[in-house]
Amino acid sequence: YTKAALAAYGITDNDVSSLKVAKGFKVICYDNDDLSGTSKEFTGDVSWIGNDWNDRVSSLKIIPDGVTGLSGICKIKGYNGQLLDLDGNSNANNTKIVQWTDEGEEIYQHWKLTEIETGVYRISAASQDSRGFDVTYGSGENRTEVWLYDYNNGNHQQFIIVKNGDYYQLVARHCGKVLEVPNASNTAGEQIKLWDNNNQNCSKWT
């Protein structure tokens, strides 16, 4: 965001004194226009950027801030002990991503992590590598469903993996919301959906 881009949101030159940065992202602020000059990084909820940067920001960049170096085939287990699974053991487009009890070597409970840029991943079906996690229709609304779909490089098919204590959270790149088990349900077959990140246990995975 250059000066002109910030102005389009009603933020005039030298008018930034606080930031709210969503988990999974960081903001790099610059004191010159066009992302140049002295810079400073911010992560987490910042209520005050400090006297050294108060009303000094002229441009800024928002980038992912996830765990790097993960790869390979894995299972994804929720806080409640259930695993992410393909509904009905299907790998067709529009198949729901659900939770289910551990079925051992069942291939439909195996996923492939591919880091496409620092901290950002594709989560593919081990049974069909060309398809993976997809937030339906690219929506950013709470309760949006997650299903399997052909990869087309959309931001709604990319997930920032964030460490949270002994667990991880899967942050949808296009909107900053996390994948969770709705209402902390323990019911096998419950579909995974989007929700605001409020550090809920039902959005924590290993």
pLDDT in tens, 108-159: 999 999 999 999 999 999 999 999 999 999 999 999 999 999 999 999 999 9
Q: How far apart (Å, rounded) are the C-alpha atoms in residues 99 and 102?
A: 9
Confidence band for 28, pLDDT divided at 50, 70 and 90: very high
pLDDT at 75: 98
Q: Please state, in angstroms and rounded to a whole number, the distance separating the CA atoms of residues 3 and 18.
A: 17
pLDDT of residue 15: 86
Question: Is pLDDT at 14 greater than 90 in this prediction?
Answer: no
Is the pLDDT confidence value at 13 over 80?
no
Distance CA 104, CA 112 (A): 16
The predicted model scores a pTM of 0.94
Residue type, 48: W
For 89-113, write each residue's pLDDT tens digit. 999 999 999 999 999 999 999 999 9
CA 38 to chain centre: 28
pLDDT recorded at residue 99? 98
Give the span between the Cα atoms of 47 and 18, in whole angstroms: 5
Q: In the chain, what's the furthest Cα-to-Cα distance?
A: 58
Cα(50)–Cα(45) distance, integer angstroms? 13
What pLDDT score does 41 carry? 96
pLDDT band at 46 (very low <50, low <70, confident <90, very high): confident
Residue 71 has phi, psi (to 5 degrees) of: -170, 165
User: Which of 127, 82, 122, 124 lies closest to 108 in space, CA to CA?
Assistant: 127
Confidence of residue 45 (pLDDT cuts 50, 70, 90): confident
Whether 12 shows a pLDDT value over 90: the answer reads no
Which of 73, 68, 85 shows the shortest CA–CA distance to 121?
Answer: 68
Instruction: Write down the pLDDT at residue 81.
Output: 98
H-run or E-run covering 4: helix 3-8
Confidence at residue 146, expressed as pLDDT on a 0 to 100 scale: 98
Question: Does the pLDDT of residue 42 top 90, yes or no?
Answer: yes
- How confident is the model over 58-66, as a mean pLDDT? 96
Residue 6 CB-half CA count within 13 A: 21
Instruction: Pick left, alpha or beta for residue 81 (phi over 0 → left; psi -120 to 50 → alpha; otherwise beta).
Output: left
Q: Judging by beta carbons within 10 Å of its beta carbon (0-12, 13-18, 19+), is residue 87 exposed, middle or buried? A: middle
Average pLDDT, the chain: 96
Nearest to 193 by CA among 121, 132, 122, 142: 142
